Amino acid sequence: MEKIVILTGAGISAESGLSTFRDEGGLWAQHRIEDVATPEGFARDPALVHGFYNARRAHAAQAKPNAAHSALARLQRDWPGDVIIVTQNVDSLHEAGGAEDVIHMHGSLAGALCAACGHRWAAPPEMAVGEPCPACHAPAARPDVVWFGEMPYQMDVIYDHLANARIFASIGTSGQVYPAAAFVHEAIAGGARTVELNLEPSAGSSSFDETILGPATETVPRWVNKLLGQR
């Protein structure tokens, strides 16, 4: 059956009240990437990094899924083939909206990771500097998120899905961060039709067969209705 692979970014959660990174006033306008989103930044000032992620974890816990998250969950339920959701987001709004088996390629605010042994466990609401790993007891707990220079999660699984996709959709991402920004090319190589849904054309917009511009809460439910109506 026809497989749909969907890549989502911060734009899909914007209307749930969560900040994007690169829009005006976004997270990278308020924080230096080198300080809060690199392993070197964490080594230099773990308290600053924990503070950044503790605040985002608390904020994300208050957020509710929006019509775009719900529409993708409906597509997963009603489409006769597989619908694979790969998100760059560290919030859990796809799951809260009813989606299943979401691939969090950049990790999750809900997770903790041991910087010493790689053990992963559920994060407490607030993480503190030097918290011990429950497996190896090293005082090296960090947020289980993927920073610049680190390998995103489940890349083999994702590339396999992209090679077999009939439709590839990219939703709410600026297309400035790799390897996610190159997924469209993997999908094209596998023969997929490609569509971008974003507020404005992304960095890789010209690579897509179709671009649908507008807020995700409007464009995504309309796109899902169209897909489900045409089968």
**Which pair of structure tokens corresponds to residue 47?**
């308290």
From 4, 7, 9, 92, residue interacting with ligand BJW (rule: CB under 6 A)? 9
Cβ of residue 89: shortest distance to ligand BJW, in angstroms?
6
Give CA separation, 117 vs 40, 103, 133, 153, in Å. 17, 22, 8, 16
Task: Return the bridge partners of 85, or none.
Answer: 6
| Using rule CB under 6 A, residue 148 touches ligand BJW | yes
| Using rule CB under 6 A, residue 178 touches ligand BJW | yes
Identify the CA nearest to 6 among candidates 231, 196, 208, 216.
196
Cβ of residue 127: shortest distance to ligand BJW, in angstroms?
14
106 is catalytic: yes
Q: Are 212 and 195 in contact (CB under 8 A)?
A: yes
- How many residues form the binding site for ligand BJW (CB under 6 A)? 36
User: What is the rounded CA–CA span in Å between residue 149 and residue 151?
Assistant: 7
| Using rule CB under 6 A, residue 185 touches ligand BJW | no
From 108, 202, 204, 223, residue interacting with ligand BJW (rule: CB under 6 A)? 202
User: What is the rounded CA–CA span in Å between residue 141 and residue 158?
Assistant: 27
Question: Phi, psi (5° rounding) for residue 161?
Answer: -65, -45
Q: Applying CB under 6 A, which part among 77-85, 128-136, 167-175, 204-212 lies near ligand BJW?
A: 167-175
Indicate the helix (H) or strand (E) that contains 78: helix 67-78
From 2, 23, 82, 160, residue interacting with ligand BJW (rule: CB under 6 A)? 23
**Which pair of structure tokens corresponds to residue 20?**
């994007």
Q: Which residue in the list 50, 69, 94, 106 is annotated as catalytic?
A: 106
The strand pair at 210-213 and 83-87 is best described as unpaired
Q: What is the dihedral of CA 133, 134, 136, 138, to 10 degrees?
A: 30
Site string for ligand BJW, 92-131 (x = CB under 6 A): --------------x-------------------------
| Using rule CB under 6 A, residue 145 touches ligand BJW | yes
Cβ of residue 228: shortest distance to ligand BJW, in angstroms?
20
- Positions touching ligand BJW (CB under 6 A) are 9-11, 14-15, 20-23, 26, 37, 88, 90, 106, 145-152, 155, 172-174, 176-179, 198-200, 202, 215-216
Residues designated catalytic = 106
